């Protein structure tokens, strides 16, 4: 959708009055939630972590919904049209094992230690250097990416409703600002839950109709296979070394995409982990990403699949002169097939998804800014009410920066791609610091800083070598996979070397933070029925995943 | 974490607060959406039906949303929500390593005697 502005995509939706009414009702509910929750915010912990009070199904849906923004809905359907079925790897071998791992293995350290943010874990486990590098890059990154989300949302508003771009940016920003100011994280999460169901109701019928119109799944796959080769519809075909699968080779997929990139994103991104930290007890926190993993397993069916169907249903999409970018696949299909009423629900879901993406950035930004920068380094030792006020002002400031970024992005639309690339360099080294910090007690204070620094430099170096044609890869996707493997390996090596020349931390300093010293609360050690057991549910979703891979080959 | 049971008198006194559960919002939203879209479906013309592969999609989606909305409301009635109330931050809410560093304003919290010497760092907090 970012690309739409560049090419002047001509897509606009034909909305009827009833569609607009549905949209207005939805957004009144969004504001209503903010006002209703105002009275539940009494402390900074209520504002930033929902007072650690939400049930697992709410945080679980929030967890997955925070991620169903611009990237998921439009980006993944665009990738489906561009790269084909192999994009499912990003879900089934990428995201889901990472979410299960976060829930079963890592969550006791995050939740049990009572850290209030992901950077705070680094501060306690390592030292302020590692903490600052993570807190600052996260704060800057989430503000800028909130701006990019805001810009994407405004393009949709402009294209679909004819609202001028600048007005759309300000309108959307004020909206997100007001409901987060009122209800804090709880407001953001409640909206994510509502949005999740609206997106579902909008996207599922679209997929069903798209498949029906192409003559069924078997026929669609046969046709695409004939046009573009078997590796376009079979995720593992051509993934040998030197093969033809556009996504890459199997080593890159398993080690790079699954282990480094996806684990890096899902287990260390505070915008996600924050939802689990808002859960009411240890077991609910562990269940959060696992409950989120079940719907996540089916997201490719409502994103990648319609993207692939669009190749048949919208002839010429993605080619010059058709007026349609790959990014337009979903809105264009909606316009073509959804009748009044249903179209309103679907477009509402789309807008809500963009808004939730931005709200997730803002609500995690203000927590890290307040706890990790303001409280730790600028004004420590004040009362909790003081930090609650700082958090509210930080929200205003963060949204203001996001508006500025969105306005800049509207002038230089490529900037958003560069931003996403830039901040992706930090993810894998961070994961390296976390996983080694959690499982190797011997890792010392400065190990975290050196691991993040060396890993990030390595990732940037591999990327630069690829851009200057020193290293060759099949696609940008394959480069990111191998770049992450290199970043992880270099980061791990740096951590080991740094640890060898320093004394280890004491057990008291590490209590709750490392393997073998987890703090588990009563909910987490009690006997639970199977449907509340993270391990059983986690294994269940992995089996489901394997079944989905098999199902793709059945067609 | 303070559970409602520990705050006698508060639970059930505030009817409005009880309504502020995510299930009541989602349920109400889908009931309204369901009614509107079902009506649209009942009045759908041939062109609308031809548009969506010969299905009267609004008449399928509308009732589904009605059912979903009803489901949330029934769930809400069967399992009334715990009150969502804000709570003050105490030392217990912080990581062990940070207690008695960031929260100097302990006397602000009613019922607590004020700053105490830090607990022995290794003592595990018992389940709460």
Q: Specify the number of domains making up chain A.
A: 1
Distance from CA of B81 to the nearest CA of A (A): 10
How confident is the model at residue A1, as a pLDDT?
35
What residues of chain B lie within 8 A of the CB of A383, using their CB?
A: 104-105, 108
Residues 488-517 of A with CB under 8 A from B: 507-509, 511-512
Which segments within A252-402 are labelled E, that is strand? none
CA triple A297-A300-A302, angle to 5 deg: 115
CB contact under 8 A, B25 and A338: no
Lowest pLDDT segment from A61-70, A115-124, A294-303, B70-79: A61-70
Distance from CA of B38 to the nearest CA of A (A): 9
How confident is the model at residue A100, as a pLDDT?
96
Please report, in tens digits, the pLDDT of each residue of chain B (128 residues total): 444 444 444 444 456 666 678 899 999 999 999 999 999 999 888 888 888 878 888 999 999 999 999 999 999 888 877 766 667 788 888 888 888 654 544 434 444 444 444 444 444 444 44
**Residues shown for chain B:** 128
Instruction: Examine the predicted complex and report whether its ipTM is higher than 0.90.
Output: no
Residue B59 in any domain: the answer is yes
For residue A124, give the nearest of B52, B68, B95 by CB distance.
Answer: B95
CB contact under 8 A, A384 and B89: yes
A92: CB partners within 8 A, 6+ apart? A297, A300, A545, A548, A549
Residue in chain A closest to B69 (alpha carbons) equals A197
Q: A308 pLDDT band (50/70/90 cuts)?
A: very high
Dihedral pair phi/psi, residue A54, rounded to 5° = -90, 150
- Domain residues for the domain of A88 are 2-554
How confident is the model at residue A23, as a pLDDT?
92
- Domain residues for the domain of B71 are 15-78
A215 shares contact with chain B (CB less than 8 Å): no
Buried b (16+ CB within 10 A) or exposed e, A304-318: bbbbbbbbbbbeebb
Enter the tokens of residue A526.
């009690």
CA triple B73-A273-A138, angle to 5 deg: 130
- 3-state SS, residue A239: coil
The arithmetic mean of pLDDT across residues A39-56, rounded, is 90
Per-residue DSSP letter, B117: P
Instruction: Return the higher-pLDDT residue of A298 and A75.
Output: A298
Which segments within A67-176 are labelled E, that is strand? none
Enter the tokens of residue B62.
């509308």
Kindly report, residue by residue over A404-462, the tens digit of the pLDDT: 988 887 776 566 667 667 777 888 999 999 999 999 999 999 999 999 999 999 999 99
Q: A7 pLDDT band (50/70/90 cuts)?
A: very low
Residue B26 in any domain: the answer is yes
Residue in chain A closest to B66 (alpha carbons) equals A201
Report yes or no: A459 and A422 within 8 Å, Cβ to Cβ: no
A336: CB partners within 8 A, 6+ apart? A313, A314, B51
Q: Specify the number of domains making up chain B.
A: 1
The full DSSP string for A12-30 is: -----HHHHHHHHHHHHHH
Other C-beta atoms lying within 10 Å of the C-beta of residue A42? 17
User: What count of CB pairs under 8 Å joins A to B?
Assistant: 166
Residue B28 in any domain: the answer is yes
How are the residues of chain B apportioned to helix, strand and coil, as percentages rounded to the nearest 5?
50, 0, 50
- CATH label of the domain that carries residue A528: 1.20.1730.10
How confident is the model at residue B14, as a pLDDT?
57
How confident is the model at residue B83, as a pLDDT?
63
| pLDDT over threshold 60, residue A4 | no
What residues of chain A lie within 8 A of the CB of B62, using their CB?
A: 341
How confident is the model at residue B17, as a pLDDT?
61
B47 class by beta-carbon count within 10 Å (0-12 exposed, 13-18 middle, 19+ buried) = exposed
What residues of chain B lie within 8 A of the CB of A35, using their CB?
A: none
Q: A354 pLDDT band (50/70/90 cuts)?
A: confident
A287: CB partners within 8 A, 6+ apart? A56, A60, A103, A279, A532, A534, A537
Q: Compute, in degrees rounded to 10, the torsion defined by CA atoms A119, A120, A122, A124.
A: 170
Dihedral pair phi/psi, residue A473, rounded to 5° = -135, 160
How confident is the model at residue A119, as a pLDDT?
94
Other C-beta atoms lying within 10 Å of the C-beta of residue A494? 23
CB contact under 8 A, B22 and A194: yes
* A316 conformational bin, left if phi > 0, alpha if psi -120 to 50, beta if neither: left
Residue B71 in any domain: the answer is yes
Q: Mean pLDDT, chain A, as a whole number? A: 88
Distance from CA of A50 to the nearest CA of B (A): 8
Dihedral pair phi/psi, residue A527, rounded to 5° = -75, 130
């Amino acid at each position: 959708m970012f690309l739409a502005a560049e090419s002047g995509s001509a897509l606009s939706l034909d909305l009827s009055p009833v569609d607009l009414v549905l949209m207005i009702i939805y957004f009144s509910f969004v504001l209503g939630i903010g006002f209703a929750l105002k009275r539940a915010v009494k402390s900074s912990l209520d504002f930033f972590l929902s007072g650690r009070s939400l049930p697992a199904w709410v945080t679980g849906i929030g967890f997955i919904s925070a991620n169903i923004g611009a990237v998921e809905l439009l980006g993944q359907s665009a990738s489906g049209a561009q790269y084909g079925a192999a994009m499912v790897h990003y879900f089934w071998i990428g995201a889901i094992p990472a979410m299960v791992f976060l829930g079963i293995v890592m969550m006791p350290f995050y939740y049990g230690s009572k850290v209030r943010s992901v950077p705070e874990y680094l501060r306690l486990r390592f030292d302020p250097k590692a903490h600052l590098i993570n807190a600052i890059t996260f704060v800057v990154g989430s503000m800028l990416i909130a701006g990019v989300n805001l810009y994407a949302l405004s393009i949709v508003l402009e294209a679909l409703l004819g609202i001028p771009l600048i007005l759309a940016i300000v309108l959307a920003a004020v909206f997100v600002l007001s409901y987060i100011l009122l209800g804090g994280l709880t407001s953001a999460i409640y909206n994510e839950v509502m949005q999740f169901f609206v997106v579902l109701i909008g996207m599922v019928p679209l997929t069903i109709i798209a498949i029906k119109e192409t003559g069924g799944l078997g026929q669609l796959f046969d046709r695409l296979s004939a046009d573009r080769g078997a590796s376009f519809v079979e995720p593992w075909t051509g993934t040998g070394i030197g093969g033809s699968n556009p996504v890459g080779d199997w080593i890159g997929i398993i080690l790079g995409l699954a282990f480094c990139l996806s684990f890096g994103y899902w287990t260390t991104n505070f915008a996600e982990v924050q939802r689990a930290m808002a859960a009411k007890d240890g077991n609910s926190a562990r269940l959060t990403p696992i409950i989120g993993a079940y719907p996540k397993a089916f997201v490719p069916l409502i994103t990648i699949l319609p993207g692939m169907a669009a190749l048949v249903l919208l002839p010429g999409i993605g080619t010059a002169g058709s007026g349609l970018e790959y990014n337009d696949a979903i809105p264009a299909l909606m316009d073509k097939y959804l009748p009044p009423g249903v179209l309103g629900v679907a477009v509402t879901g789309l807008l809500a998804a963009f808004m939730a993406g931005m709200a997730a950035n803002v609500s995690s930004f203000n927590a890290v800014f307040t706890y990790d920068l303001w409280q730790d380094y600028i004004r420590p030792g004040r009362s909790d009410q003081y930090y609650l006020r700082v958090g509210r002002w930080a929200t205003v400031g963060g949204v203001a920066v996001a508006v500025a970024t969105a306005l800049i992005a509207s002038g230089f639309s490529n900037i958003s791609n560069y931003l996403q690339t830039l901040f992706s360099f930090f993810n894998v080294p961070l994961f390296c610091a976390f996983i080694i910090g959690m499982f190797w007690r011997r890792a010392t204070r400065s190990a975290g800083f050196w691991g993040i620094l060396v890993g990030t430099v390595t990732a940037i170096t591999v990327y630069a070598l690829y851009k200057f044609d020193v290293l060759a890869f099949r696609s940008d996707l394959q480069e990111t996979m191998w770049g992450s493997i290199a970043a992880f390996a270099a980061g791990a090596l740096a951590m080991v070397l740094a640890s060898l020349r320093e004394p280890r931390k004491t057990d008291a300093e590490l209590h709750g933070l490392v393997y073998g010293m987890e703090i588990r609360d009563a909910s987490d050690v009690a006997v639970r029925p199977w449907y509340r057991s993270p391990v059983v549910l986690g294994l269940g979703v992995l089996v489901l995943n394997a079944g989905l891979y098999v199902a793709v080959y059945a067609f | 974490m303070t559970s409602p049971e520990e705050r006698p008198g508060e639970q059930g006194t505030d009817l409005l607060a009880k309504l502020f559960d995510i299930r009541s919002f989602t349920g109400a939203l889908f009931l309204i959406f369901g009614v509107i879209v079902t009506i649209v479906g009942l009045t759908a013309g041939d062109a609308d039906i031809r548009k969506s592969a010969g299905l009267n999609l609004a008449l399928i989606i509308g009732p589904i949303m009605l059912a979903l909305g009803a489901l949330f409301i029934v769930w809400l009635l069967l399992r009334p929500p715990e009150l969502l109330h804000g709570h003050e931050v105490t030392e217990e809410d912080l990581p062990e390593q940070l207690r008695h560093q960031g929260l100097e304003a302990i006397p602000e919290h009613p019922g607590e005697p004020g700053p105490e010497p830090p607990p022995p760092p290794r003592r595990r907090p018992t389940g709460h």
